[in-house]
């Protein structure tokens, strides 16, 4: 004779299997979201770095050529004044850029913010 198990215990094991499957599915979804966010952030930073380097190169060449042009134009009359003025402008711009970069580093957005938000929503749903 086959031994019969109570229907409650079979239902409990099925419920546990279903719960485990749901937890695995939630973890899979969250890890997929996390990997997508990491890839998007890497692509964004790569593009930003390339554009910034191109921009800095072009600005640097332009500033050097403009400075040489103005110094040559005022070579006979006010060369010391022009060179000291450009030195002050470049030093001020460098300090301002340094301050801006430090400000951006200190106020960066939280990494994986949407993944953490989704995980907190999952945690709230799983609470009784």
Cα separation, 39 vs 62, whole angstroms: 35
The confidence score (pLDDT) of residue 10 equals 66
The confidence score (pLDDT) of residue 50 equals 93
Kindly report the three-state secondary structure assignment for every residue of the chain.
CCCCCCHHHHHHHHHHHHHHHHHHHHHHHHHHHHHHHHHHHHHHHHHHHHHHHHHHHHHHHHHHHHHHHHHHHCCCCCHHHHHHHHHHHHHHHHHHHHHHHHHHHHCCCCCCHHHHHHHHHHHHHHCC
Q: Is 0.85 surpassed by the pTM of this model?
A: no
The confidence score (pLDDT) of residue 31 equals 83
pLDDT per residue of the chain (128 residues) written in tens, 0 to 9: 455 555 545 678 888 888 888 888 888 888 888 888 888 888 889 998 899 889 888 888 888 888 888 888 888 888 888 888 888 888 888 889 888 888 888 887 676 677 777 777 777 776 66
pLDDT tens digits for 26-53?
888 888 888 888 888 888 899 988 998 8
Contact call for residues 117 and 111 (beta carbons, < 8 A): no
Domain ranges of the chain: 9-126
């Amino acid at each position: 004779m086959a031994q019969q198990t109570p229907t409650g215990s079979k239902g409990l094991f099925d419920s546990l299997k279903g719960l485990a499957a749901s937890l695995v599915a939630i973890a899979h979804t969250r890890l997929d979201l996390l990997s997508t966010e990491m890839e998007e952030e890497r692509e964004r930073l790569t593009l930003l770095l390339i554009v910034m380097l191109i921009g800095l190169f072009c600005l640097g060449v332009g500033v050097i050529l403009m400075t040489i042009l103005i110094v040559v134009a005022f070579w006979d009359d006010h060369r010391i004044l022009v060179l000291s003025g450009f030195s002050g402008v470049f030093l001020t711009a460098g300090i301002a850029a340094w301050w801006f970069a430090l400000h951006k580093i200190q106020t960066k957005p939280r990494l994986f913010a949407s993944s953490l938000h989704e995980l907190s929503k999952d945690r709230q749903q799983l609470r009784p």
